[in-house]
Amino acid sequence: MQTFVDELVRQSTEAGMIVNGCKTKEMLIGSVLRSPPISITLSGTLVERVMTFKLLGMYIATNLKWAQHVDAISSKAASRLVTDLVS
């Protein structure tokens, strides 16, 4: 996997793009969770392995369940309702 990441960084650099390893996240899905591979480095920075992350406003989890996203939306809606009632 590290070889593919290094090739991606090389091609991105040739295209004039900058890859930011500090902002890059890695999420493993499926059976690979049982025996995770070694960590990946991107431009000399260790890529952070996460269990959930927010992408385009949606929370995605390694188990591909909607629970965290629904909780976040419900909490946001409840806080807005309370704010509207107070004002």
Percent of the chain with pLDDT over 70: 95
Query: What band does 50 get if pLDDT is binned at 50, 70 and 90?
Result: very high
Name the residue with tokens 């290094």.
Answer: 6
Torsion of CA 67, 35, 31, 4, to 10 degrees: 100
Query: What band does 61 get if pLDDT is binned at 50, 70 and 90?
Result: very high
Taking the CA atoms of 19, 21, 27 and 33 in sequence, report the sign of the dihedral they define. positive
How many CA atoms, within 13 angstroms, populate the side-chain half-sphere of residue 66? Answer: 3
pLDDT at 30 over 90: no
Query: Region 7-26: what's the mean pLDDT?
Result: 92
Q: Provide the pLDDT for residue 12.
A: 93
The mean pLDDT value of the chain amounts to 89
- Where along the chain do its domains lie? 1-50, 51-87
